[in-house]
Amino acid sequence: MDIRNIAIIAHVDHGKTTLVDRILHSTNVFRDNQETGELIMDSNPLERERGITIFSKNAAVTYKGIKINVIDTPGHSDFGGEVERVLKMADGVILLVDAFEGPMPQTRFVLQKALQLNLKPIVVINKVDKDNCRPDEVHDQVFELFFNLDATEEQLDFPTFYGSGKNGWFNDSLTPSEDITPLMDGILKYVPEPKVSEGPLQMQITSLDYSSFLGRIAVGKVTRGSIKEGQNIALMQTDGVVKRNKVKELYVFEGMGKRKVDEVVAGDICAVVGLEGFNIGDTISDFEVQEALPAIKVDEPTMSMMFGINTSPFFGRDGKFVTSRHLRDRLLAETEKNLALRIQDTDSADKFLVFGRGILHLGVLIESMRREGYELTVGQPQVLTKTIDGKKHEPFETLVVDVPADFSGKVIDLVTQRKGEMNVMESKGDMQHLEFEIPSRGLIGLRSNMLTATAGEAIMAHTFIDYKPWKGPIPSRNNGVLISKNQGTTTAYSIDKLQDRGTFFIDPGDEVYIGQIIAEHIKPGDLNVNATEGKKLTNMRASGSDGTVRITPKKEMTLEECMEYIQEDECIEVTPKVIRLRKVYLDENDRKRFSKGAKMEA
């Protein structure tokens, strides 16, 4: 068959999307005069802003008469669910590794999944043009990683290419080539043709697409037989229900888009239009011979957050979707395509417990909802615990930190305070490479503290390992907060008088309400303050001229930073225009009553 299906996997920032750009350009997908820019596959606005891939995407190119389906995957461990399901469509993987950083936590995670599926690996050592790069040493580390993951003899005999995605060359040696032709030839040589079984139609839905004209579109690889336009099929769902359906239209991937076809044979990846009520993991089977493929298994979530309707006094000012029904429908729609996400109802009809892979995973969901016009309140992230052999267990992660040697002591101190244990400490060029095993709880709020302690020099990465025995209490935020005791517009006069009490999250002229968190206190313990008081004006001039009010700019916090910052009795109000921190109980007397009750229970 003249088809190759390949997924590109790597740790975050090792150059996957740039490599896809090079493949698209080298196979003349675009016209000569066409403006394409960079990171072509990262088409989502959130991806472009953050500079990371969040959603896996397909493209198809033709090279030497052979069609290559290319799947770009996310590199962040929080989006591991995306990688796990799309690898089912591939027959080979390009494992991309940075020539300086070497294998990182996510490299291990995605490679393990690929080896379990018995996919043929091609190793590409990227960024060999960087200072301090060490391609030979990295190659040995990759081989060691394969060996540690119990790779077969055949998998250990992987081909290796070197190059620079930025400079547009890849070769099977360190000698720069003119372009990426050697790598493209390597894909044709080493990636096997799709394995096709004899028999009637079988296709597993591994991805969803959506079109405002066509509705929901099922995407997957045909593993057996062929699928035709107008064909009657059996949709076999993961819960055992079988539905009769009809294929209205069929598309295959071509370049960055899709092309309508009448028939798709086994081995190719296609998009099916017209199916109703399908989910990821369902099997499209022959109508007469109904055989389901094994369900897609995705690792369990490790973190939960409470999502509720916005209950602040400013409720409904910015958002279009504000009711619990809107919130519930949106969350349920998300679980259809986001396999690593779970939703659970609570005692209250206005609140839902949402389970995800980590703060970034949940943060991207909240940010997407906010941009779509939703208003909501989210609580403090909590790790999920399990009882194993009668003992409480919690999720642990591997934390890797690369930092200049001068700051390594501060990093070790910060991580050990949070019950982390150091396993590896080695020099990597002029950087110190540190590896820790740390409870997932210890990672909440660690990034901002570490960047402060290392003057922004630390590079952090982490990935889930396993559940291990509970480590006991971990110190959280030391400082209290300043809480507004009035509703109104803040004044420069009031903020100026309160500046020595803490770091403000608001500017003069912002509207605040009772119970809103407006600043971080310089001491432990919370303080209720009035930030809306104006200066009393009389007709008597002061003997000395008034000093000019100098207000320090407010501290800007991203959504993820807010999620890491808040404590148990605090939450975040998220609307399309603003993100505010607030207390769960806005009234001061309610807060006192709640804290007394909590102490009595303890």
449 is in an annotated binding site: no
261, 250 Cβ separation under 8 angstroms = yes
**Residues sharing a CB contact under 8 Å with residue 457, sequence separation 6 or more, in sequence order:** 403, 404, 407
Where in 361-446 does DSSP place strands (E)?
376-378, 382-383, 386-388, 391-404, 421-428, 431-439
Q: Are 324 and 349 in contact (CB under 8 A)?
A: yes
For the four alpha carbons of 591, 593, 599 and 601, in that order, the dihedral sign comes to negative
Residue 445's identity, in one-letter code, is: G
Question: Would the annotation count 17 as a binding residue?
Answer: yes
d(CA 94, CA 83): 13
Please state, in angstroms and rounded to a whole number, the distance separating the CA atoms of residues 497 and 211: 55
- DSSP state at residue 77: G
What count of residues does the chain have? 602
Which class for 441: exposed (0-12), middle (13-18), buried (19 or more C-beta within 10 A)? buried
What's the CA gap between 373 and 229, in Å, rounded?
37
The single-letter code of the amino acid at 407 is F
Phi, psi (deg, nearest 5) at residue 162: -120, 155
Residue 597 marked in a binding site? no
Q: Judge whether 363 is annotated as a binding position.
A: no
- Cα angle 107, 112, 114; round to 5: 95
Cα(87)–Cα(92) distance, integer angstroms: 9
- Name the helix (H) or strand (E) containing 160: strand 160-164
DSSP 9-65: EESTTSSHHHHHHHHHHHTT-S-TT----S-TT--SHHHHHHTS--S-EEEEEEETT
129 is in an annotated binding site: yes
Tokens, residue 168: 């547009």
Identity of the amino acid at 58:
N
Is position 127 annotated in a ligand binding site?
yes
Which of 411, 459, 405 has the alpha carbon at shortest distance from 438?
Answer: 411
Q: Is 126 annotated to bind ligand?
A: yes
Strand-pair category, 570-574 with 579-583: antiparallel
Distance between CA atoms of residues 424 and 572, nearest Å: 37
Residue 6 · residue 93 · CB < 8 Å: yes
Alpha carbons 99 and 136: distance in angstroms, whole number: 9
The rounded distance, in Å, linking the Cα atoms of 488 and 549 is 20
Pick from 14, 485, 574, 24: nearest CA to 307 = 574
182/180 Cα distance (integer angstroms): 6
State the pairing for strand pair 269-273/376-378.
unpaired
CB-CB neighbours of 432 under 10 Å: 20
Residue type, 238: T
Query: 117 — alpha (psi -120 to 50), left (phi > 0) or beta?
Result: alpha
Answer yes or no: are the C-beta atoms of 127 and 138 closer than 8 Å.
no
The pair of three-digit structure tokens given for residue 599, joined into one six-digit string: 């102490």
Bind-site residues for GTP: 13-18, 126-129
Bind-site residues: 13-18, 126-129
